[in-house]
């Protein structure tokens, strides 16, 4: 009975959401204009549009679906419901902020099966109900041409594909439900279906989305402004992500006991599908790398833009739009980021080290002059994305960003030196918009690119490399376009650098460079943790988390950091010292269990609710 009551509440909540008052076509104000029990519903195209508007609205507003749109509209650029969550679990970001504790604990191997330690509480199914209900009813609108009905069905297929993809990433096996549920249904609390079966449905759904969805131009011709509506190439972009993930998961986890044995089959089929989907977007000619010829600013311009609607930027395939219209349609990211102590957003030394030099070589191999004894020097002759992701203290606008009048070398500010201070000595700025940070409340309107063309190019290159079919021509139309924007020498397939940092990992040098490019280009876009999981590189999370290199004498009386209260780690090989980011914190003790930590546990409360029908994720019940 307890399970039935919970399911009833889920269904009633979903219906209430879908029956809200309609507004317009933005992610922030999409909901149907009529009750779902209205006998006159499912008659006109407006009904189909109103219902799918509700799905957009639900996805865009709910923090439970942060993988989609960076969280709730009023907090989505905040600490607790944003891309920072996923970065805090990865090796890109160090954080001791309470809002990110669940995620930082996840990265440190401290996840558990009780409610207080279980990963983000993701055993929720509201979006699935909405998609299934629509797909079971949309063809009742017989007065609408089938092709137009299919447009909206394509949206429901898209969201269902992403929903189940997200669930499989988390749990491996989940109950597969493709029909509407009622309060007597026990399906969501029944034994899970195999990963193989669920992913076959995901592939079918995203293929259906790509077939049914119109192009952006077709939608505009029929309905006017497109804003952030899904289109055919949005579906192909998501398909490339899905297939790349599944193909590499099956390749690198083939010997695990995490999923069903047959889930390791068809690696090349999935990887080929990823490359083909990316190729369709590339061949469409509808998107391109945003490059005005200014390496110093072009990359960051993608993330400080307040108008990504209607394809305003040729690289953005699916934007998350914000509006300041007194409806809490904005956010407060920039104000939050540097409005306090700033200890929650500190990039790591490991991340910074992965940026190449302008000659296309890693630090250990470059012949360009370089020195990291002072933080200012690490930006010279470097991949231009570094100074657009992390603040260069010597930049003309560095101090102005924080409205601080300070002498030269006043940054970085470490613990004990005032604010805004950094846990690692590095300041994140990629999405930071100084022009917006003084706004009050949730009124900042800097948009966020959820899916962009750069990811398509990276997915294409990686899939081809994994298939051993990558050519120089492939590199020149993918990764080297991104390097052109960043002012970095091209990747030459006949002369790939062998970075000593990765020589002991068993990863082919070409694949190292492709993965490096993905880490840098897509940093702080909620991809790094997933990438480590699918590559079976969870052991990277056990490495000691360090900050910038420091010279101990700088912390003595009269030194640059004499007031700082930090501890150092001295590299036993080089003798160099680095900030020990988690010194004195439980996050310093890091573990990763190869037998279970690649997937997440189902909370004990959920298991109990299912009347013990659900199986715990392999490894977690031990």
Inter-CA distances, 203 with 164, 188, 517, Å:
10, 21, 27
Note the pTM of the prediction, 2 decimals.
0.92
Whether residue 331 contacts residue 442, with contact meaning beta carbons closer than 8 Å, is answered with yes
- Is residue 263 predicted with pLDDT exceeding 70? no
Residue 608's pLDDT is: 80
How many Cα atoms occupy the beta-carbon half-sphere of 335 within 13 Å? 17
Residue from 329, 337, 327 nearest 304 by CA = 337
Q: Residue 597 gets which letter from DSSP?
A: T
Residue 36's pLDDT is: 54
Inter-CA distances, 177 with 129, 133, 161, 198, Å:
9, 11, 12, 9
Residue from 170, 70, 168, 160 nearest 120 by CA = 170
pLDDT class of 186 with cuts at 50, 70, 90: low
Alpha helices in 413-572 (DSSP H): 453-466, 472-476, 479-486, 509-521, 528-534
Residue 136's pLDDT is: 95
Inter-CA distances, 546 with 99, 147, 353, Å:
21, 55, 11
d(CA 372, CA 180): 59
The residue ranges of every structural domain in the chain are 546-588
d(CA 357, CA 525): 22
pLDDT tens-place string over residues 278-300: 999 999 999 999 999 999 999 99
Residue from 437, 363, 358, 368 nearest 397 by CA = 437
pLDDT tens-place string over residues 434-475: 888 777 777 888 888 999 999 999 999 999 999 999 999 999
pLDDT tens-place string over residues 100-124: 888 899 999 999 887 666 665 567 7
Whether residue 540 contacts residue 524, with contact meaning beta carbons closer than 8 Å, is answered with no
Please provide the DSSP assignment of 320-381 as one string. E----SSSS-SB-HHHHHTSS--TT-EE-HHHHHTSPBTTS--TTT--S----SSGGGGGTT
pLDDT class of 410 with cuts at 50, 70, 90: confident
d(CA 24, CA 436): 24
> What residues have CB less than 8 Å from 69, skipping those under 6 apart?
27, 59, 60, 76, 320, 448, 450
Handedness of CA 477, 483, 484, 486 (dihedral sign): positive
Instruction: For residue 196, give the H/E element and its range.
Output: helix 195-212
Angle at which helix 479-486 crosses helix 509-521, to 10 degrees, equals 50
Q: Is the backbone peptide bond immediately before 412 cis, with ω within 30 degrees of 0?
A: yes
Residue 117's pLDDT is: 65
- Is residue 90 predicted with pLDDT exceeding 60? yes
Residue 481's pLDDT is: 98
Residue 331's pLDDT is: 78
- Is residue 142 predicted with pLDDT exceeding 60? yes
- Is residue 529 predicted with pLDDT exceeding 80? yes
pLDDT tens-place string over residues 584-621: 999 999 999 999 999 999 888 888 877 778 888 888 87
pLDDT tens-place string over residues 537-586: 999 999 999 999 999 999 999 999 999 999 999 999 999 999 999 999 99
> What residues have CB less than 8 Å from 87, skipping those under 6 apart?
93, 523, 524, 526, 528, 529
Residue 478's pLDDT is: 98
Residue 334's pLDDT is: 81
Handedness of CA 266, 267, 269, 270 (dihedral sign): positive
Beta-carbon count within 10 A of 182 CB: 9
Residue 219, φ and ψ in degrees, nearest 5: -65, -45
Residue from 56, 9, 57, 11 nearest 36 by CA = 11
pLDDT class of 534 with cuts at 50, 70, 90: very high
């Amino acid at each position: 009975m307890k399970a039935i009551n919970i399911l009833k509440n889920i269904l009633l909540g979903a219906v209430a959401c879908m029956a809200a008052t309609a507004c317009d076509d933005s992610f922030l104000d999409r909901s149907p204009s009529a009750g779902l029990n209205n006998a006159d519903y499912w008659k006109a195209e407006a009904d189909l549009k109103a219902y799918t508007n509700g799905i957009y609205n639900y996805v865009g507003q709910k923090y439970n679906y942060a993988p989609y749109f960076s969280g709730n509209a009023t907090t989505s650029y905040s600490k607790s419901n944003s891309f920072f969550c996923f970065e805090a679990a990865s090796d890109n970001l160090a954080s001791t902020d309470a809002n990110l504790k669940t995620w930082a604990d996840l990265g440190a191997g401290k996840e558990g099966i009780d409610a207080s330690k279980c990963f983000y509480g993701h055993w929720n199914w509201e979006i699935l109900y909405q998609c299934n209900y629509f797909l079971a009813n949309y063809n009742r609108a017989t007065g609408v041409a089938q092709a137009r009905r299919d447009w909206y069905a394509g949206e429901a297929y898209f969201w269902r594909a992403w929903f189940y993809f997200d669930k499989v990433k988390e749990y491996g096996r989940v109950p597969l439900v493709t029909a509407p549920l009622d309060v007597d249904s026990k399906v969501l609390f029944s034994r899970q279906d195999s990963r193989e079966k669920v992913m076959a449905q995901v592939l079918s759904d995203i293929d259906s989305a790509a077939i049914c969805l119109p192009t952006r131009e077709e939608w505009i011709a029929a309905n006017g402004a497109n804003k952030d509506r899904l289109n055919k190439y949005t579906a192909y972009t998501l398909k490339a992500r899905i297939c790349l993930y599944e193909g590499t998961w099956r390749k690198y986890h083939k010997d695990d006991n995490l999923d069903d044995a047959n889930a390791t089959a068809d690696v090349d089929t999935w990887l080929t599908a990823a490359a083909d989907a990316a190729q369709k977007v590339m061949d469409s000619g509808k998107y391109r790398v945003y490059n005005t010829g200014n390496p110093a600013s072009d990359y960051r311009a993608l993330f400080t833009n307040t108008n990504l609607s209607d394809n305003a930027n040729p690289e953005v395939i699916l934007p998350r739009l914000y509006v300041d219209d007194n409806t809490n349609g904005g956010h407060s990211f920039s104000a939050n980021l540097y409005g306090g102590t700033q200890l929650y957003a500190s990039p790591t030394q490991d991340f910074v080290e992965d940026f190449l030099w302008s000659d296309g070589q890693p630090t250990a191999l470059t012949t360009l002059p370089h020195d990291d004894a002072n933080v200012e020097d690490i930006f010279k002759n470097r991949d231009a994305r570094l100074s657009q992701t992390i603040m260069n203290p010597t930049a003309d606008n560095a101090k102005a960003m924080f409205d601080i009048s300070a002498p030269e070398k006043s940054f970085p500010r470490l613990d004990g030196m005032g604010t805004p201070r950094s846990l690692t000595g590095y300041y994140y700025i990629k999405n930071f918009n100084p022009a917006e940070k003084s706004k009050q409340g949730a009124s900042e309107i800097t948009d966020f690119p959820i899916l962009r063309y750069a990811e398509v190019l990276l997915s294409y290159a990686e899939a081809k490399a994994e298939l051993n079919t990558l050519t120089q021509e492939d590199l020149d139309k993918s990764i080297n376009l991104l390097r052109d924007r960043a002012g970095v020498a091209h990747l030459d397939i006949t002369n790939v650098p062998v970075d000593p940092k990765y020589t002991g990992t068993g990863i082919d040098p070409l694949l190292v460079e492709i993965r490096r490019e993905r880490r840098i280009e897509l940093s702080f876009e909620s991809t790094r943790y997933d990438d480590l999981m699918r590559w079976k590189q969870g052991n990277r999370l056990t490495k000691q988390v360090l900050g910038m290199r420091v010279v101990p004498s700088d912390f003595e009386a009269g030194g640059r950091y004499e007031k700082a209260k930090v501890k150092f780690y001295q590299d036993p090989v080089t003798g160099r010292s680095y900030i020990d980011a988690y010194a004195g914190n439980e996050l310093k003790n890091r573990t990763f269990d190869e037998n279970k930590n690649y997937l997440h546990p189902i909370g004990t409360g959920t298991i109990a609710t299912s009347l013990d029908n659900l199986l715990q994720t392999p490894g977690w019940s031990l």
